[in-house]
Amino acid sequence: NAGVMQNPRHLVRRRGQEARLRCSPMKGHSHVYWYRQLPEEGLKFMVYLQKENIIDESGMPKERFSAEFPKEGPSILRIQQVVRGDSAAYFCASSPVSGYHEQYFGPGTRLTVT
């Protein structure tokens, strides 16, 4: 059973460009979470999605960031008009059900904004 897949693993963008980060959950998992890890810091929750639904986006910046988890295909975290402060590691996690259940993390996408 393959784990959580994320791509790309490394992404370099110039200021003002768009970044698209993809996450394929573990087989059988229908709940996806995105977290951001700034250098030397812990992980911060961004958004929680189920298929075709955003359940909790309380950790998402109000502007430039959006997320989706379509019926078919991976979950996408999209950052428009990136700025240097967006440079971080972005991790996706998946779980089979919601609530008090294990979340399994992918290897992350390391975004560098130049």
Partner 1 sequence: GENVEQHPSTLSVQEGDSAVIKCTYSDSASNYFPWYKQELGKGPQLIIDIRSNVGEKKDQRIAVTLNKTAKHFSLHITETQPEDSAVYFCAASGGAGGTSYGKLTFGQGTILTVHP
Shortest Cβ distance from residue 101 to partner 1 (Å)? 8
Q: Which CB, 75 or 95, lies closer to partner 1?
A: 95
Cβ nearer to partner 1, comparing 17 with 105: 105
Task: Report the 10 Å Cβ neighbour count for 95.
Answer: 19
Instruction: Please state, in angstroms and rounded to a whole number, the distance separating the CA atoms of residues 34 and 56.
Output: 11
Task: Find the distance separating the first CA and the last CA of the chain, reported in whole Å.
Answer: 37
Nearer to partner 1, 19 or 91 (CB): 91
Distance in angstroms (rounded) separating the CA atoms of residues 32 and 74: 10
Contact positions vs partner 1 (CB under 8 A): 4, 6, 31, 33, 35, 41-45, 48, 55-56, 58-59, 91, 93, 95, 98-108
